[in-house]
Amino acid sequence: MASVDEIPAWLKLHRRLVTLQDGVGATNVIVSDAAGHLLCHGLSRRAHDGADPRNRGAEADRDREVRALGEIFDRTLRTRPLAKDDTLAMADEEPFTFVQSFGGNRLLLLWFNGPFTPFPVALKVRGALPAIEALAAQIPAAEESSRGAAV
């Protein structure tokens, strides 16, 4: 089976997420299912930025990043479970996240290093969401995917 990185919809979604991430100044962005299975992600803007992905430590860094995102995912959704097409912005308290549910069982989670203003983020998410939703629908479910790691 092909790697998820080789699926054109995953690559297009990744590019969309990076564009959204850059547009709102987020540290990272992910799309997952409601159970926390990672479908796609943006680019980490954490301390190890600029690390060469061929470096042995890059995979360990990615694994640490996925674990950190998992903790953020859990803390955010423990605060308030999301209903269909619901939004949650934790702009003034950790873990500084903006979450938008879509497509019945998908979540878009933007993570910030500190407090942020939710209104401009919501506007940009609203504009980007139709394309993100269409691309996310083309990605195989986590149990079928070779990258079906739970966030």
Tokens of 106: 């998908």
- Mean pLDDT on 5-23: 90
Q: CA 92, 124, 105 angle in degrees (round to 5)? A: 80
CA distance 3 to 39: 12
The yes-or-no verdict on residue 113 having pLDDT over 50 is: yes
CA distance 22 to 29: 10
Please tell me the predicted confidence (pLDDT) of residue 58: 61
Please tell me the predicted confidence (pLDDT) of residue 4: 57
Buried b or exposed e, range 79-89, using 16+ CB within 10 angstroms: eeebeeeebbb
CA distance 20 to 13: 10
Please, what CATH class does the domain formed by 4-49+72-136 belong to? alpha beta
Q: pTM for this structure?
A: 0.77
128-137: pLDDT as tens digits? 999 999 999 9
**Regarding predicted confidence, which is higher, 60 or 35?**
35
Q: Where are the beta strands (DSSP E) in 7-86?
A: 28-33, 38-41
Tokens of 81: 């479970």
Q: What's the chain's average pLDDT?
A: 80
53-101: pLDDT as tens digits? 445 556 666 667 767 777 777 777 777 777 788 888 888 988 899 999 9
Confidence band for 1, pLDDT divided at 50, 70 and 90: very low
Instruction: Label residue 51 exposed, middle or buried (CB < 10 Å: 0-12, 13-18, 19+).
Output: middle
Domain ranges of the chain: 4-49+72-136
